[in-house]
Amino acid sequence: AQSVSQHNHHVILSEAASLELGCNYSYGGTVNLFWYVQYPGQHLQLLLKYFSGDPLVKGIKGFEAEFIKSKFSFNLRKPSVQWSDTAEYFCAVNARASKIIFGSGTRLSIRP
């Protein structure tokens, strides 16, 4: 069965620091990969997604993620975070003909 691991439960950074949130999945075949974000008091929304092609995917608000097939990883990155990036981030994966599975989430807190 496929699974998704987000090892960082809570990350605290200062503004302008660089961000990398880890996401690893367990499935040997072709997968679709997603990052969703939930800002305080708001609904979950899609940040970026990967289906095929260029493994470096750019999303909204300066975020990007890199799919590394050999490492079963899809880490989220941002070169310089802002206070407004404070949110909870969820990685999600679905294999072909399988349901979307979400990770446990990473809470990101940015110190002004």
Residues of the shown chain interacting with other proteins in the complex, contacts defined by CB under 8 A:
4, 6, 9, 32, 36, 42-46, 49, 51, 90, 92, 94, 96-100, 102-105
**CA proximity to 16, closest of 92, 111, 89:** 111
Task: Report in angstroms how near the CB of residue 94 gets to other proteins at its nearest.
Answer: 6
Task: Report in angstroms how near the CB of residue 112 gets to other proteins at its nearest.
Answer: 25
Task: Report in angstroms how near the CB of residue 25 gets to other proteins at its nearest.
Answer: 13
As a residue count, the chain comes to 112
Task: Report in angstroms how near the CB of residue 16 gets to other proteins at its nearest.
Answer: 29
Give the C-alpha separation, 35 to 49, whole Å.
6
Residue 32 or 86 with smaller CB distance to other proteins: 32
Distances (CA, A) of 78 to 4, 17, 57, 58: 21, 9, 12, 10
Contact call for residues 39 and 24 (beta carbons, < 8 A)? no
Residue 19 or 90 with smaller CB distance to other proteins: 90
Residue 17 or 73 with smaller CB distance to other proteins: 73
Look up residue 55 and give its two tokens.
Answer: 């493994």
